[in-house]
Amino acid sequence: MKTQILTDFQKSIIHNCLLDLRDSSSLNNPSFLPLALDSLLKSKGFGIETSGIYISTDEDPENLPDYLQEGISFEFMDYHLILSFDDATSCIIDWCKKNLSQDNEETLLKAVKLEELLK
């Protein structure tokens, strides 16, 4: 399996999307990243105002961007990046390892479960 080589701009879309999900919160949720991963584990997309992660296996057509045919899409602002399931889950795991504190191990485990589910 060949991993896609990403440009710096493509990497920034992934980084900013996941960072926005991690750092955005609501009264009942200190971070939306765990909720986004939970949604992906259920084959459902997840989005907030400026960011989202969408999966082509989502059965609800309202959750699917028109451009997404196969794989996982990362959105940040007006930009999006579509990756294969393998590449997307690898990027999510790598990002979590680099950008989450050790007390967020549960979130990293969700990313690993997602990778196993989509193999």
The structural domains of the chain, with segments of one domain joined by +, span: 8-117
Give me the percent of the chain exceeding a pLDDT of 70.
97
CA distances from 99 to 52, 62, 66 (A): 18, 31, 30
Neighbours of 90 (CB within 10 A): 17
1 pLDDT higher than 80: no
Q: How far is it, in rounded angstroms, from Cα 80 to Cα 68? A: 10
pLDDT band at 2 (very low <50, low <70, confident <90, very high): low
Indicate the pTM of the whole model. Answer: 0.91
Q: Are 22 and 95 in contact (CB under 8 A)?
A: no
